[in-house]
């Protein structure tokens, strides 16, 4: 499972490689702060789609190469005045299958997704980090939604993610005023999982990935699905969904191992099955 370009220059690349049961996804265009081209977004969609169907994976890690996480989609390249003007309705046709599909996949894939963020996380890059299950950021990281500052309205889930994570007042500050949010404030607000010093970033993410990748993968995936379902459901509907998920998770080998470990008063050894 690999989508690699010959070089990570102006064109950039997205690499997706396995390390044990963890899929490592790297946004690799550091000369442009990992701003994503159409091709890179397509490769990201492909990597996440493949991961969703791979029963041997147990976690996904997304990070940016170099000093930044991701400066968003490359609107300069997409709207090059020297190129041919897109047809009317181009965004409505294309983005649901590109940037929006990435956010949907990160949120819905039944594997835990961890993002490591350093430097800038801007626009689509910010929303990618917010859609992950756990985002760990270096203390010098900055989260920014500059859509209105650039003269257009938000996309890639900003208006859904932000109010649910930090409330309407802070969502307005980020979306209508374009306020930049430091990693420390992002963690304090509940926008991300944790802010740490830059030297601690890799080790913190690895400890989190190790814990998630050694957990009961089916139960984690079903819990993730239930959390998303509950964002637009009543209490009664959510509890009904929980029952269906419970029925499935109770049929796994990890459920049996969890009970046996409890009886024997030892730590469980889950296999993700």
Q: What is the predicted pLDDT for the residue at 4?
A: 45
Q: What is the predicted pLDDT for the residue at 147?
A: 87
Calpha distance 216→257 (Å, rounded): 9
pLDDT confidence band for 249 (50 / 70 / 90): very high
Q: Where does 217-264 sit in CATH, by number? A: 1.10.12
**Domain residue ranges in the chain:** 13-213, 217-264
Sign of the Cα torsion 128, 63, 174, 232 reads: positive
Range name among 119-128, 152-161, 215-224 with the lowest pLDDT average: 152-161
Q: Where does 13-213 sit in CATH, by number? A: 3.90.226.10
Find all residues with CB under 8 Å of 77, minimum gap 6, and list them: 35, 37
pLDDT confidence band for 2 (50 / 70 / 90): very low
Would you state the structure tokens that stand for residue 45, as one six-digit string? Answer: 């969609």
Would you state the structure tokens that stand for residue 151, as one six-digit string? Answer: 């003269």
**pLDDT 10s digits, 46-79:** 999 999 999 999 999 999 999 999 998 876 555 5
Calpha distance 43→62 (Å, rounded): 13
Residue with tokens 């950021």: 137
């Amino acid at each position: 499972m690999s989508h690699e370009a010959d070089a990570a220059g102006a064109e950039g690349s997205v690499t997706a490689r396995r390390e044990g049961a963890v899929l490592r996804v790297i946004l690799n265009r550091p000369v442009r702060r990992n701003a994503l081209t159409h091709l890179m977004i397509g490769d990201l969609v492909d990597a996440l789609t493949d991961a969703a169907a791979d029963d041997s994976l147990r976690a996904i890690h997304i990070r940016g190469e170099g000093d930044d996480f991701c400066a968003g989609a490359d609107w300069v390249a997409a709207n090059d005045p020297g190129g041919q003007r897109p047809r009317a309705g181009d965004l409505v046709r294309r983005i649901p299958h590109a940037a929006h599909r990435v956010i949907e996949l990160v949120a819905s894939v039944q594997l835990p997704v961890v993002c490591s963020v350093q430097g800038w996380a801007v626009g689509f890059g910010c929303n990618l980090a917010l859609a992950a299950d756990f985002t760990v950021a270096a203390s010098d990281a900055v989260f920014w939604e500059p859509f209105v500052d650039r003269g257009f309205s938000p996309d890639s889930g900003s208006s859904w993610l932000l109010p649910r994570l930090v409330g309407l007042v802070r969502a307005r500050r980020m979306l209508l005023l374009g306020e930049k949010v430091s990693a420390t404030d992002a963690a304090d607000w509940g926008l991300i999982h944790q802010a740490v010093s830059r030297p601690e970033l890799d080790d913190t993410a690895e400890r989190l990935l190790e814990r998630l990748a050694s957990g009961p993968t089916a139960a984690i995936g079903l819990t993730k699905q239930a959390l998303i379902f509950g964002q637009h459901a009543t209490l009664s509907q959510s509890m009904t969904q929980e029952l269906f998920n419970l029925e499935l998770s109770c049929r796994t080998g990890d459920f049996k191992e969890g009970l046996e470990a409890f009886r024997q008063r030892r730590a469980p050894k889950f296999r993700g099955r």
